[in-house]
Amino acid sequence: MALLKWTRILAVVLVIVGFGVTIAWLMYSDRRLTRQVEGILTTEEVSQLRAQSLDYEAAFAKARLSKNVLEEADIKLLEQALQAQEDYVSARGALGADNYRLEVLRHNLHLIRGENLRVLANQAEAKAMVIAKTQPEEAMKLLRSALESEKEISKKWLFSGLVDPGKIARLDTRLRSLEAEPLWRKGRNLEKEGEVLEAAGKFSVAADKFSQAIECETEFLGRYRDVRDTEFKRVDVLEVKRETALSGNMMVEVDQQIKTAEKLEKLNQWEPASRGWKDAIVAFNQLLVEFPKSRHADRTREAKLIVRMNFARAHDQVTAVYQGVEQLHQQLQGRHALAAAQLATTHLAAARKLAEDNTGVFLPDDLTRQELEFIVDREATLRALLASIDTALVPLPAPFARSKIYRQEVSQGLYTSLMGANPSAL
């Protein structure tokens, strides 16, 4: 422990000694430099530097009082006064009053230079804003000039007090906004060209246009995303359009197969029609795999194609169910409740089997299937109702004499028996 304590003390002492040596070396170095400068110029020459600075400043002041606008030669006088004062202060070392005069001269020169540049920048910016829409190229030149003037103020004339980072940022934004316009417009024009070509069936060329539009948009986002309203999802939109165009020929093939299948259906050639629908589904599945972003890649459309294929494949069985329902209606009209119930049971079983084997055929919300479900579920009620319903009906007057209505309103009990629930009874 004692050894560790003395080690720490020794380290602290060494740091303090090193720090002191460094300060001493810097002080000695500064004095040595001062002696070197003093050795270069004599005392008389040093005094002449101050006198020259005063003379130049006086000449500048005279020009400033006699002229409304300073000329470059006048400003040079102030620069010479500043240079002589800098040399004087450097030769004499740091003197308070002389340093203050140096700062004043420097500020005055920087202010004049900065103000001149600020005027040029403001004039260029104002003119650029006027012609921005009609002469964008000229406006960009003016904004670049204004930006260069402001940057010169910030780099060379710091002591003017005119450095304005906000103005530099605004000019840069305005300039880049104008620079972005041609690229922005080019991308949109390419997109429109692609849409026209796609509508004309020129899918490959259209896809190339959309690819070029994507390149423009990617470049725009990389360079100008902060200077105007940016559609960050636009690349995704363009990619969808490109894939849609690329899948155009495949979609044409699918549509042709659909038309062929529909034509075969009209000719009652259901087996060939079923194969036609299957070919359309295979082609459409290929489109889904190769171009998943395409607008044509719609899974609901695939489902509809499958339903059409199943209806064509099961056409004879589906037709048999519809014909059975017609027979069922005839039995109901003849008040043959038992026969109607038997038909309903038979054809409901057939409809359910078709639904299991063929996607989309006789779905639960299919009206024919719902009718069969209704009759089977209410067989007993219908048998009781049909036995006496004719006595409760009266014909309507001409010209509706073929239709009949109840002599009185439907009873709550009958309504409940048929519908399963009676809101009026609640």
In the chain, the percentage of residues whose pLDDT exceeds 90 is: 61
- Enumerate residues 6+ apart whose C-beta is below 8 A from 343: 324, 325, 327, 328, 331
Over residues 215-242, mean pLDDT:
89
Helix (H) or strand (E) holding 265: helix 248-266
Over residues 132-152, mean pLDDT:
95
Residue-wise pLDDT for 409-418, tens only, equals: 877 877 787 7
Over residues 139-158, mean pLDDT:
95
Over residues 73-100, mean pLDDT:
86
Q: Which of 7-16, 163-172, 181-190 has the lowest mean pLDDT?
A: 7-16
Helices (H) and strands (E) counted in the chain, each on its own, are 16, 2
| pLDDT of amino acid 379 | 86
- Enumerate residues 6+ apart whose C-beta is below 8 A from 342: none
- Residue 6 pLDDT exceeds 60: no
Task: Give the pair of three-digit tokens for residue 54.
Answer: 């005063």
- pLDDT category at 405 given cuts 50, 70, 90 is confident
- Residue 13 pLDDT exceeds 90: no
- Residue 151 pLDDT exceeds 90: yes
Show me where the domains of the chain are located. Answer: 13-94, 181-246, 248-313, 315-425
Q: Which of 277-286, 369-378, 398-407 has the lowest mean pLDDT?
A: 398-407
| pLDDT of amino acid 94 | 58
Residue pair 110/160 in contact (Cβ under 8 Å)? The answer is yes
| Among 66, 136, 74, 65, residue whose Cα is nearest residue 109 | 74
- Residue 22 pLDDT exceeds 50: no
Residue pair 205/248 in contact (Cβ under 8 Å)? The answer is no
- Enumerate residues 6+ apart whose C-beta is below 8 A from 26: none
- pLDDT category at 96 given cuts 50, 70, 90 is low
Report d(CA 69, CA 63) in Å as an integer.
Answer: 9
Report d(CA 146, CA 88) in Å as an integer.
Answer: 36
- Residue 40 pLDDT exceeds 90: no
| pLDDT of amino acid 223 | 87
List 405's β-bridge partners, or say none: 394
- Residue 403 pLDDT exceeds 70: yes
Residue 388's alpha-carbon distances to 383, 415, 419, in angstroms, are 9, 16, 19
- Residue 295 pLDDT exceeds 70: yes
| pLDDT of amino acid 60 | 92
Crossing angle for the helix pair 412-419 and 379-388, to the nearest 10 degrees: 140
Helix (H) or strand (E) holding 23: helix 2-40
- pLDDT category at 384 given cuts 50, 70, 90 is confident
Crossing angle for the helix pair 165-199 and 136-156, to the nearest 10 degrees: 150
DSSP 395: E
Over residues 102-108, mean pLDDT:
93
- Residue 17 pLDDT exceeds 90: no
Q: Which of 10-19, 145-154, 358-367 has the lowest mean pLDDT?
A: 10-19
Using only C-alpha atoms, what is the Rg of the chain? Answer: 48
| pLDDT of amino acid 426 | 59
- pLDDT category at 425 given cuts 50, 70, 90 is low
| Most confidently predicted of 52-66, 253-267, 379-393 | 253-267
Q: What phi, psi does 257 have (nearest 5°)?
A: -65, -35
Query: CA 260, 266, 269, 270 torsion: positive or negative?
Result: positive
- pLDDT category at 267 given cuts 50, 70, 90 is very high
Over residues 114-133, mean pLDDT:
95
Say which CATH architecture domain 248-313 belongs to: Up-down Bundle (1.20)
| pLDDT of amino acid 262 | 96
Report d(CA 261, CA 264) in Å as an integer.
Answer: 5
Task: Give the pair of three-digit tokens for residue 410.
Answer: 């439907």
- pLDDT category at 106 given cuts 50, 70, 90 is very high
Report which of residues 283 and 231 the model is more confident about. 283
Beta strands 393-395 and 404-406: pairing type?
Answer: antiparallel
* Average per-residue pLDDT for the chain: 86
